[in-house]
């Protein structure tokens, strides 16, 4: 599909199709729909470009990469988009798809988890207005980007970047929900493996090719058969170099996290002193995952398990994991809207000291984690950045960041100013890097333009 940046093309298209004025096409979301018809099967429309109503009315168009084939995905390949207009900034999907987790699926259950906390962030909805601007000389910023056409391809690209020469093992997680991949990060790093993604029903062809490119002899499946089916297990075992397929799967996301922690315990030298506890389920699809994403790089580097909880109660699988791993400390990640004080009380009642890394927003929490990452020995460059609006592209980042010995940070994918805590940390980090005789700081963005918009990248340079 080709994309022209010429405004006149779209205007001509509207005139050619004989469309009504923009207001007549306004949708409830405040958008208008401009339809282009091409030679599609069955005479169906092949492409609908969503255009911001005000932009169309004023004749102001900007290049973007987030037009959608709305309701006609099967015909997308037949469409030719000669013009590309910007939408209203509400696309929270991954690199090139719109998948979201509604909190109703799990490692091996059919939707019995139904978290009810409808808060919208670690502690509230507002970011600080302090942008941390410093006019002092700072290190140069080098921009890199890793992305694919969707979350599965993005995971493949991350794997290829991290393991260009291959590796012996692969960790495989479902692509449509977040918990297993996020809690699997420390285990993946411990065995020097990337996390790859697949649909639950069958092994994704691209993922199968990447497993073979890596020359992996062992594939670890995260989650029960509802997460990755027996067909996926069989297909993985039939790949040329694969000698063994092992499954780490509990009854639900909490049970799988428990088993991953136990597997990690077997592979580390000595005891595990610290575990991270994050919110791992929420009925609000914008919740339940941000703090786990933010801490995944640090936890992977340290070899510390990520255990899951709801906002208000600790699942029995999590307390069982604490008993088995026997850490001296459990660090709660996120503010009290993510994990309230009753979580700390329960953990302390189980004989575990608690601490908390939590800011007023997910971005403040992310900045605190980034600073802790530097304090424990991770480098100020590269900084891996993932959108804080949705989870798909960030699923596999944790072990890759750990292997890179860098820092993982969340940033608002549509407006950098709305993640001002992240911006402030990045500006301070560039200053501190120069102090340490580091001339260049690499910002490595995960995901395409629909995940992190070009304007955000420009603002962070």
Structural domain boundaries of the chain?
Answer: 7-78, 140-154+161-166+268-460
pLDDT value of position 413 = 97
* Torsional class of 351: left (φ above 0), alpha (ψ -120 to 50), beta (otherwise): left
In sequence order, which residues have a C-beta less than 8 Å from that of residue 363 and are 6 or more positions away? 127, 388, 410, 411, 412, 418, 419, 420, 421, 422
Query: CB atoms < 10 A from the CB of 8, how many?
Result: 11
Residue with tokens 């960041």: 401
Based on its alpha-carbon atoms, the radius of gyration of the chain, rounded to whole angstroms, reads 23
Q: Given this model, what pLDDT does residue 269 score?
A: 78
Local structure of 231: helix, strand or coil: helix
> 157 phi and psi, to 5 degrees?
-65, -40
At residue 241, the pLDDT reads 95
pLDDT digits (tens, 9 = 90+) for 279-299: 999 999 999 999 999 999 999
Say what the pLDDT of residue 270 is.
78
Cα 69 to chain centroid distance, Å, stands at 23
Rounded distance, CA 219 to CA 345, Å?
Answer: 38
Note down pLDDT in tens along the chain; length 461 residues: 333 333 333 333 333 333 333 222 233 333 333 333 333 333 333 333 333 333 333 333 333 223 332 333 333 333 333 333 333 333 334 444 433 443 334 555 433 333 333 333 444 333 333 333 233 466 799 999 999 999 999 999 999 999 999 999 999 999 999 999 999 999 999 999 999 999 999 999 999 999 999 999 999 999 999 999 999 999 999 999 999 999 999 999 999 999 999 999 999 877 899 999 999 999 999 999 999 999 999 999 999 999 999 999 999 999 999 999 999 999 999 999 999 999 999 999 999 999 999 999 999 999 999 999 999 999 999 999 999 999 999 999 999 999 999 999 999 999 999 999 999 999 999 999 988 999 899 999 999 999 999 999 999 98
pLDDT for the residue 234: 98
Strands (E), 370-436: 383-387, 407-411
Query: What's the pTM value of the predicted model, to 2 decimals?
Result: 0.73
Pairing relation of β-strands 31-36 and 47-52?
A: antiparallel
> Residues 408, 382, 213, 261: is their CA dihedral positive or negative?
negative
Gap between the Cα atoms of 205 and 299, Å rounded: 30
């Amino acid at each position: 599909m080709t994309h022209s940046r010429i405004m006149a093309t779209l205007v001509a298209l509207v005139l050619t199709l004989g469309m009504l004025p923009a207001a007549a096409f306004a949708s409830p979301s405040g958008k208008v729909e401009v339809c282009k018809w091409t030679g599609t099967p069955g005479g169906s429309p092949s492409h609908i470009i969503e255009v911001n109503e005000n932009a169309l009315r004023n004749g102001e168009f900007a290049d973007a990469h987030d037009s959608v084939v709305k309701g006609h995905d099967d015909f997308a390949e037949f469409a030719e988009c000669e013009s590309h207009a910007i939408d209203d900034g509400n696309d929270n999907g991954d690199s090139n798809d719109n998948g979201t987790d509604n909190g109703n699926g799990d490692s091996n259950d059919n939707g019995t988890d139904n978290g009810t906390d409808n808060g919208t962030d670690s502690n509230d909805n507002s970011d600080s207005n302090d942008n941390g601007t410093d006019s002092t000389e700072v290190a140069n910023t080098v921009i890199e980007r890793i992305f694919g056409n969707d979350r599965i391809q993005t995971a493949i690209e991350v794997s290829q970047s991290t393991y260009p020469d291959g590796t012996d093992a692969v960790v495989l997680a479902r692509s449509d929900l977040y918990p297993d991949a996020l809690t699997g990060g420390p285990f993946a790093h411990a065995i020097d493996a990337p996390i790859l993604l697949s649909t639950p029903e069958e092994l994704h062809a691209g993922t199968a090719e990447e497993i073979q490119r890596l020359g992996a002899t062992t594939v670890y499946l995260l989650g029960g058969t509802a997460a990755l089916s027996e067909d996926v297990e069989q297909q993985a075992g039939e790949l040329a170099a694969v000698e063994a397929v092992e499954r780490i799967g509990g009854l639900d996301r909490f049970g799988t996290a428990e088993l991953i922690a136990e597997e990690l315990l077997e592979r580390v030298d000595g005891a595990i002193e610290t575990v991270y506890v994050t919110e791992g389920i929420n009925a609000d699809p914008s919740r339940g995952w941000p703090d786990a994403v933010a801490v995944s790089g640090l936890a992977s580097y340290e070899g510390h398990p990520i255990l899951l909880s709801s906002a208000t109660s600790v699942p029995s699988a999590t307390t069982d994991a604490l008993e088995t791993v026997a850490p001296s400390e459990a660090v709660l990640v996120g503010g009290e809207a993510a994990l309230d004080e009753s979580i700390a009380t329960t953990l302390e009642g189980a004989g575990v000291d608690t601490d908390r890394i939590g800011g007023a927003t997910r971005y403040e929490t992310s900045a605190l984690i980034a600073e802790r990452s530097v304090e424990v020995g991770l480098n100020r460059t590269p900084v891996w950045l993932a959108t804080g609006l949705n989870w798909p592209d960030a699923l596999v980042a944790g072990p890759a960041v750990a292997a890179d010995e860098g820092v993982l940070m969340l940033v608002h994918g549509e407006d950098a100013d709305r993640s001002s805590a992240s911006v402030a940390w990045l500006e301070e980090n560039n200053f501190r890097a120069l102090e340490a005789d580091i001339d260049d700081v690499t910002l490595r963005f995960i995901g395409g333009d629909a995940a992190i918009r070009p304007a955000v990248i420009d603002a962070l340079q």
